Amino acid sequence: MAQANIYKCKPAGEVRVMTPVLIGSMVIAVIVIVHESPRLFAAILVAVLVVVAIVVSYLYMPRAVVVDDQGVGVKQAISGNFIPMESIRSVRRVSKREVFGSGLDIGVGGLFSYTGTVKNNKTLGSFSLYVRNTAEMVFIDCGESGVVLSADSADELIEDILARKSGTTKL
């Protein structure tokens, strides 16, 4: 039995810029609402919702991609996703245009990561999204749907998955 390889998910590009900008905008909006609002309860409710949105986005952020002989797993603080090796049809790099061309249906777009679900994308169909580095995105085709994820090295990740899929696992 071969050992699992772990590929870290580190933020890059616009995620590094968008996260502080979005959090700063939310904090400024909450301060203005709390300060200007004649209804204290409504202002506090908005503040709580903003904090919850930030915490949930942080907890669902992809932390690592784990590849072993059984499949590919995406690790998150709260949950994760596992793709069995036998369900993987193909693996390839994808561009931002392919992934984000039709928008994000459900999820977080740029606060710590791009995490969510896209339905009926023109080029990729329906897929789940676990991306922190848009320059290193990989599409895993699972037939009916797929998964787009990123890791520090998309090429190494693809090579590892394909090697395990063909039965020539590298250590």
Write down the mean pLDDT value for the chain.
85
Tens digit of each residue's pLDDT (9 = 90 or more) over 46-58: 888 888 888 888 8
Please indicate, yes or no, whether the overall pTM of this predicted structure exceeds 0.85: no
Place of tokens 């787009």: 148
pLDDT at residue 4 greater than cutoff 50: yes
pLDDT at residue 99 greater than cutoff 50: yes
Write the single-letter amino acid at 83: I
Residues 11-26 have a mean pLDDT of: 83
Q: Quote the pLDDT of residue 171.
A: 47
| Cα separation, 164 vs 65, whole angstroms | 15
Q: Quote the pLDDT of residue 2.
A: 67
| Cα separation, 96 vs 134, whole angstroms | 6
The sheet carrying 90-93 orders its strands as 90-93, 137-141, 146-150, 125-131, 113-121, 106-111
Q: Quote the pLDDT of residue 147.
A: 93
| Cα separation, 166 vs 144, whole angstroms | 22
Tens digit of each residue's pLDDT (9 = 90 or more) over 56-76: 888 889 999 999 999 999 999
Tens digit of each residue's pLDDT (9 = 90 or more) over 104-159: 677 777 788 888 888 888 888 889 999 998 889 999 999 888 999 999 889 999 99
Q: Quote the pLDDT of residue 91.
A: 94
Closest CA relative to residue 111, chosen from 36, 169, 63, 53: 53
